[in-house]
Amino acid sequence: MIITKENGKKQIISQSSGQKFKMIAKTMMGLEELLADELQQCGATDIEILNRAVSFMGDMCTLYRANYTCRTALSILKPFAEFEAYNDQDLYNQVYKIPWEKVMDVDCTFMIDSTTSGEIFTHSYYAALKTKDAIVDRFRKNFGHRPNIDTENADYKFNLHIADSHVTILINSSGESLHKRGYRQGVGIAPLNEVLAAGMIKLSGWKCDCNFYDPMCGSGTILIEAAMLANNIPAQYYRGDRFAFKRWKEFNLGEWKRVKEQENRRIGEGDFDYEIWGNDIDMNVLNQCEKNLEYTKLHKDVMLHCGSFEDQDPPEGRCIIVTNPPYGERIKVEDLNAMYQQLGDTMKQRYGAGREVWLISSDFDALKHIGLRPSRKIQLLNGSLDCRFMKFELYDGSKKDKYND
Ligand SMILES: C[S@@+](CC[C@H](N)C(=O)[O-])C[C@H]1O[C@@H](n2cnc3c(N)ncnc32)[C@H](O)[C@@H]1O
Give the distance from CA 288 to its chain's centroid.
Answer: 22
Q: How far apart are the CA of 280 and the centre of ligand 1, in A?
A: 6
109-145, pLDDT tens digit by residue? 999 999 999 999 999 999 999 999 999 999 999 999 9
Confidence of residue 399 (pLDDT cuts 50, 70, 90): very low
When pLDDT is averaged across residues 188-199 and rounded to a whole number, the result is 93
Closest ligand 1 atom to Cα of 342:
19
Tell me the C-alpha to C-alpha distance, in Å, between residue 141 and each of 145, 197, 335.
8, 48, 65
Going by alpha carbons, the residue nearest to atom 1 of ligand 1 is 326
Beta strands 21-26 and 75-84: pairing type? Answer: antiparallel
What residues does ligand 1 touch, defined as CB less than 6 Å away?
Answer: 188, 190-192, 216, 218-219, 221-222, 279-282, 285, 308-309, 324-326, 331
Question: What per-residue confidence (pLDDT) applies to 6?
Answer: 46
Of the two residues 41 and 80, the one the predictor is more confident about is 41
Confidence of residue 188 (pLDDT cuts 50, 70, 90): confident
Closest ligand 1 atom to Cα of 218:
27
Q: How far apart are the CA of 381 and the centre of ligand 1, in A?
A: 18
Three-state SS at 133: helix
Question: What per-residue confidence (pLDDT) applies to 392?
Answer: 96
Question: What per-residue confidence (pLDDT) applies to 368?
Answer: 95
Question: What per-residue confidence (pLDDT) applies to 385?
Answer: 96
Going by alpha carbons, the residue nearest to atom 12 of ligand 1 is 216
Question: What per-residue confidence (pLDDT) applies to 250?
Answer: 85
Q: How far apart are the CA of 294 and the centre of ligand 1, in A?
A: 20
Going by alpha carbons, the residue nearest to atom 3 of ligand 1 is 218
In this structure, are residues 56 and 78 in contact, taking their beta carbons and an 8 Å threshold? Answer: no
Going by alpha carbons, the residue nearest to atom 16 of ligand 1 is 281
Backbone phi and psi for residue 238, each to the nearest 5 degrees, phi listed first: -100, 5
Q: Which residues pair with 163 in a beta bridge?
A: 117, 166
pLDDT at 4 over 60: no
State the average pLDDT for the chain.
92
Amino acid letter for position 87? N
Q: How far apart are the CA of 297 and the centre of ligand 1, in A?
A: 23
In this structure, are residues 66 and 44 in contact, taking their beta carbons and an 8 Å threshold? Answer: yes
Q: Long-range contacts made by residues 241-245, C-beta under 8 angstroms, separation at least 24?
A: 242/175, 242/176, 242/180, 242/182, 243/67, 243/173, 243/174, 243/175, 244/155, 244/156, 244/157, 244/171, 244/172, 244/173, 244/174, 244/175, 245/63, 245/64, 245/67, 245/173, 245/174, 245/175
Closest ligand 1 atom to Cα of 282:
25
Confidence of residue 26 (pLDDT cuts 50, 70, 90): very high
Q: How far apart are the CA of 325 and the centre of ligand 1, in A?
A: 5
Q: How far apart are the CA of 379 and the centre of ligand 1, in A?
A: 21
Question: What per-residue confidence (pLDDT) applies to 10?
Answer: 55
Question: What per-residue confidence (pLDDT) applies to 182?
Answer: 96
Three-state SS at 190: coil
Measured CA to CA, the distance from residue 138 to residue 273 in angstroms comes to: 59
145-178, pLDDT tens digit by residue? 999 999 888 889 999 999 999 999 999 999 999 9
pLDDT at 102 over 70: yes
Going by alpha carbons, the residue nearest to atom 20 of ligand 1 is 308
Mean pLDDT check: name the lowest of 65-74, 305-314, 396-405: 396-405
With the most atoms of ligand 1 within 8 angstroms of its CB, the residue from 281, 283, 347, 370 to mutate is 281
Sequence-ordered strand ranges (E) for 90-232: 109-117, 148-149, 156-163, 166-172, 211-214
76-88, pLDDT tens digit by residue? 999 989 999 999 9
354-389, pLDDT tens digit by residue? 899 999 999 999 999 999 999 999 999 999 999 999
| Closest among 273, 320, 298, 275 to 220, alpha carbons compared | 298
pLDDT at 332 over 60: yes
In this structure, are residues 139 and 145 in contact, taking their beta carbons and an 8 Å threshold? Answer: yes
Q: How far apart are the CA of 208 and the centre of ligand 1, in A?
A: 23
Q: How far apart are the CA of 73 and the centre of ligand 1, in A?
A: 25
Question: What per-residue confidence (pLDDT) applies to 331?
Answer: 65
Confidence of residue 16 (pLDDT cuts 50, 70, 90): low
Question: What per-residue confidence (pLDDT) applies to 395?
Answer: 78
225-240, pLDDT tens digit by residue? 999 999 999 999 999 9
Confidence of residue 249 (pLDDT cuts 50, 70, 90): confident
pLDDT at 404 over 50: no
Question: What per-residue confidence (pLDDT) applies to 313?
Answer: 92
Closest ligand 1 atom to Cα of 327:
1
Q: How far apart are the CA of 222 and the centre of ligand 1, in A?
A: 11
Closest ligand 1 atom to Cα of 325:
10
Percent of the chain with pLDDT over 70: 92
Measured CA to CA, the distance from residue 85 to residue 165 in angstroms comes to: 5
Question: What per-residue confidence (pLDDT) applies to 235?
Answer: 98
Domains of the chain, CATH where assigned:
2-172 (3.30.2130.30), 194-233+275-400 (3.40.50.150)
Confidence of residue 7 (pLDDT cuts 50, 70, 90): very low
Of the two residues 247 and 367, the one the predictor is more confident about is 367
Amino acid letter for position 158? F
With the most atoms of ligand 1 within 8 angstroms of its CB, the residue from 187, 216, 323, 345 to mutate is 216
Q: How far apart are the CA of 286 and the centre of ligand 1, in A?
A: 9
With the most atoms of ligand 1 within 8 angstroms of its CB, the residue from 225, 280, 287, 389 to mutate is 280
Sign (positive/negative) of CA torsion 118, 119, 125, 128? negative
Confidence of residue 397 (pLDDT cuts 50, 70, 90): low
pLDDT at 9 over 80: no
Measured CA to CA, the distance from residue 403 to residue 405 in angstroms comes to: 6
Q: How far apart are the CA of 146 and the centre of ligand 1, in A?
A: 49
The pTM (predicted TM-score) of the whole model is 0.91
Q: How far apart are the CA of 31 and the centre of ligand 1, in A?
A: 23
Question: What per-residue confidence (pLDDT) applies to 152?
Answer: 85
